[in-house]
Structure 1
Amino acid sequence: MEEGRSTASGIEADSVSLSQRRSNCMCVCVCDFFVIYQFTQQSLPACKPVLSPVWVVSVFFVVGVLFIPVGIGCLHASRSVVEIVYRYDVECIPAPFRGNKLAYIANDFIPKNCTKHLKVVYSDAISCVLATNKWKENLGDGRAMWLWYWYIKRNACALFACYFQVLVCACFLFCPEKAHIALGTFEIPQEQVPRSMKAPIYVYYQLDNYYQNHRRYYKSRSERQLLHGLEYPDIGSCAPEDVINGLPVVPCGLVAWSMFNDTFSFFRGVDELNVNRKNIAWKSDRDHKFGKHVFPFNFQNGSLIGGARLDPNISLSDQEDLIVWMRTSALPSFRKLYGRIEEDLDADDTISVKLLNNYNTYSFSGSKKIVLSTSNHMLIRVLIDAKNAGKGVAGHTLFLEAFIFSSPSLAIVSNFSPFNTF
């Protein structure tokens, strides 16, 4: 009897535990279903702001006030940059070949040497405001007024930003006392510009109307071959510059094949300015993307020569011109670092540039420019790139928009509130 009772009690306990598990499972299922239902019906508890007029006006004012110092800092950093930009692709063509540029660049027997003189120049939108009297002295009132109309028409946004800075007491803080501007054939004498260029001075070459982001061009390369060399034989993506005379090409592809090959030498008087060509590429690219034991092989040995040749005795990780060129640009107008001049240039210095005009941009109506530019300190360079006032103007524009949108809202709330209060 005792054994029967124990067996019956055990069965009852098992049934009770089974029913408890079923009830717990049903509770979990019901809870899960309820949570899913709330999620799908967007009825979960949430915290959301109440867009009252006072809250909206306050947000506009706070955002506007926060972006005033940001805009001022960016504009000041941009205007502290001194930059020389000179287009040389047309000026360096001999007069008899101006009408047939392709014949000039394709003929190896025509010398490609060219010498140009540059001067340290400072130019900005503010300059037009401060140089009016000088315009009148040099050009007369009639031409000065015509130049005013032409400049305002093409630079309305920049001028508006300048005048708006006057309202926030920034223009007088950061505008230079003397300024230079060149419009068309009219120039204020350059020797009146008291601006110097402090080292390091970065030398760039700029290409326009050059689409490095074209998919077929960008894909014509082999990242693994750049790192492993001839050990990686699968270079079909590099066609048509993958194999020449039955031998693989290192580095392969159209990007490497079309590498920029103009060269520049700089002189101040009779003294040559040394251009440091080291450490112009990203360290991560040198260390991890280009092999230290990979050397150029069978490069530029085809019937068509696209651009620069590479020294077969120097590894790819040390050929920084190639590394800079292989980091393709997303825009059709871009600058790439050529080197650094580690000497200061005074405002009245005239720099002679001796260059070899080898690179063919004439077949696709491109242009070539040489750029000398100083730099901002590292904190500001996070926000802007060289001489670019766009972010500073954007900061002031955002403040202006916040002010425009918040002022009518404030007036409406104060005038139409039932108690004439917030």
Structure 2
Amino acid sequence: MAGNEVRNRGNVNASPSAAPATTAEPDEKVLKNRPKASALRQQRLPAWQPILTATTVIPAVFCVGIVFIPIGVALYLASSGVEEFRVDYSQKCTIGQPCTVPITIEKDMEGKVFFYYFLSNYYQNHRRYVKSRNDQQYMGNYDSTTDCEPFDKMSMPDGTEKKILPCGAIANSMFNDTFMLFTDNVAGIPANTNVTMTTDGVIWEVDEQRKFKNPSSDWKDGDCTPFQNYTKPPNWPVPICQMHGGMQNVDFIVWMRTAALPSFRKLHRILQPDGLGHFTNGLPKGSYRLQVQNNYPVSTFGGTKEFVISTTSWAGGKNGFLGVAYMAVGSLAILLGIIFIIIHIKFGHSVDELSNINRQS
């Protein structure tokens, strides 16, 4: 009996219903987010690595010199062909007073003639100065004066505050000297003839049509009604509504395009024929009188002012730096090419020697 009970218990424990369930584990785990087996994703794209040898480097260096030197010569000759006259009137005129500066042009300025003003040591590229403006205001949202501090608003005599239009340090420091040029002793032109200048072509079309806007398309000069809730910048003699063109005043737009260098020139006017047959081919040589209304002080920052008359070429104005730079780089490349040839002849390996090295390795 006892043995049967033991056997029965053993059979019970060994029954299939009591056996634990087992699961078969796969040999490999399934990898999630695995990149596709493409050449691009698996970084198996064919590659080319240049091997710099004397036969490839030396001709490339000579090619750079051969290309750069003629370009530099052409740029330098184009710049040399530009006629330019400059007169510094900083010390010749008193601030706030008109003055006359004699000018003698020794060569005919043929073609298109441009009139510039030049400022030195001004640093119009200063970070805080460049940021002190609000383009939204200039585009027509006159109440927007963000980033214009401290030239965003001004207290009025009656105790109220008005927003400045146009706001910002750039607008407040606008250049306001005026120029008039008259003939004195020029062949074929009577004395005291006014040299006619125009603003056509001075500013970019995008500035006039999109970046600077008046209250309406039919706004007229001198209509200050739309601007009555605003005041002029502290340094301005008159409000914007009394300036020719209002917010689209040419001198204002030119000044608002800040310069990248501490000393710069800005385009003021362009020569225009006077309708009497004068100045049709440019500005002839002779004696002239420049009448300046000297309003802009430069002694406070140690700068100077100049009036510039210049022609242009296909390469721009008179600036020989780019041509000299091209010629210098080209000459340096030719010199380096010669040095590389000498080094290669004296210390380099021939093709046969390199092939022997490859076989030995």
**Aligned positions of 1:263-302 closer than 5 A:** 263-269=178-184, 270-293=192-215, 297=227, 301=232
Partner amino acid, structure 2, of 1:274: T
Shift of 1:87: 0.9
Q: Does residue 392 of the first structure (1) align with residue 304 of the second (2)?
A: no
Indicate how the Cα distance of structure 1 residues 366 and 417 shifts in structure 2: closer, same or farther if over 3 A, else same: closer
Q: Secondary structure of 1:237's partner?
A: coil
Deviates more, 1:306-315 or 1:365-374: 306-315
Q: Is residue 84–residue 120 contact of structure 1 (8 Å, CA) maintained in 2?
A: yes
Q: Does residue 337 of the first structure (1) align with residue 267 of the second (2)?
A: yes
Q: Secondary structure of 2:255's partner?
A: helix
Q: Secondary structure of 2:194's partner?
A: strand
Indicate how the Cα distance of structure 1 residues 83 and 314 shifts in structure 2: closer, same or farther if over 3 A, else same: closer
Partner amino acid, structure 1, of 2:103: L
User: Partner residue of 1:50?
Assistant: 51
Aligned length: 298
Deviation sequence 1:185-213 (CA, Å, 0-9, x none): xxxxxxxxxx3201321100011111212
Q: Is residue 132–residue 169 contact of structure 2 (8 Å, CA) maintained in 1?
A: yes
User: Partner residue of 1:359?
Assistant: 296
Shift of 1:353: 0.3
Q: Does residue 237 of the first structure (1) align with residue 147 of the second (2)?
A: yes
Partner amino acid, structure 1, of 2:201: N
Equivalents in 1 of 2:271, 2:245: separation in Å? Answer: 25
Equivalents in 2 of 1:421, 1:415: separation in Å? Answer: 16
Q: Does residue 29 of the first structure (1) align with residue 34 of the second (2)?
A: yes
**Aligned positions of 1:14-413 closer than 5 A:** 29=34, 45-93=46-94, 105=95, 112-121=97-106, 195-230=107-142, 233-244=143-154, 245=156, 246-269=161-184, 270-293=192-215, 297=227, 301=232, 304-306=234-236, 310-312=240-242, 314-316=244-246, 318-342=248-272, 343=279, 344-347=282-285, 349-377=286-314, 380-381=315-316, 386-413=317-344
Q: Is residue 261–residue 308 contact of structure 1 (8 Å, CA) maintained in 2?
A: no
Higher relative contact order (CA 8 A, sep 6+): 2
Partner amino acid, structure 1, of 2:99: C
Equivalents in 1 of 2:237, 2:120: separation in Å? Answer: 17
Equivalents in 2 of 1:203, 1:225: separation in Å? Answer: 30
Q: Could you tell me which runs of 5 or more consecutive residues in structure 1 were left unpaired when the two chains were aligned.
A: 1-18, 94-104, 122-194
Equivalents in 2 of 1:271, 1:345: separation in Å? Answer: 12
Indicate how the Cα distance of structure 1 residues 322 and 353 shifts in structure 2: closer, same or farther if over 3 A, else same: same
Q: Is residue 258–residue 307 contact of structure 1 (8 Å, CA) maintained in 2?
A: no
* TM-score relative to the length of structure 1: 0.64
Equivalents in 2 of 1:34, 1:272: separation in Å? Answer: 75
Equivalents in 2 of 1:317, 1:234: separation in Å? Answer: 15
Partner amino acid, structure 2, of 1:404: L
Deviation sequence 1:219-248 (CA, Å, 0-9, x none): 221111111143xx2313222222232122
Equivalents in 2 of 1:417, 1:222: separation in Å? Answer: 63
Q: Could you tell me which runs of 5 or more consecutive residues in structure 2 were left unpaired when the two chains were aligned.
A: 1-25, 185-191, 273-278, 354-361
Equivalents in 2 of 1:308, 1:398: separation in Å? Answer: 51
Equivalents in 2 of 1:61, 1:288: separation in Å? Answer: 48
* TM-score relative to the length of structure 2: 0.74
Deviation sequence 1:46-67 (CA, Å, 0-9, x none): 2121110111110011111111
Indicate how the Cα distance of structure 1 residues 313 and 402 shifts in structure 2: closer, same or farther if over 3 A, else same: closer
Identity of aligned residues (%): 31
Shift of 1:92: 1.7
Q: Is residue 240–residue 247 contact of structure 2 (8 Å, CA) maintained in 1?
A: no
Shift of 1:120: 2.2
Higher helix share: 1
Shift of 1:292: 3.8
Shift of 1:409: 1.2
Indicate how the Cα distance of structure 1 residues 308 and 75 shifts in structure 2: closer, same or farther if over 3 A, else same: farther
Equivalents in 1 of 2:239, 2:300: separation in Å? Answer: 20
Q: Secondary structure of 1:324's partner?
A: helix
Q: Secondary structure of 2:305's partner?
A: strand
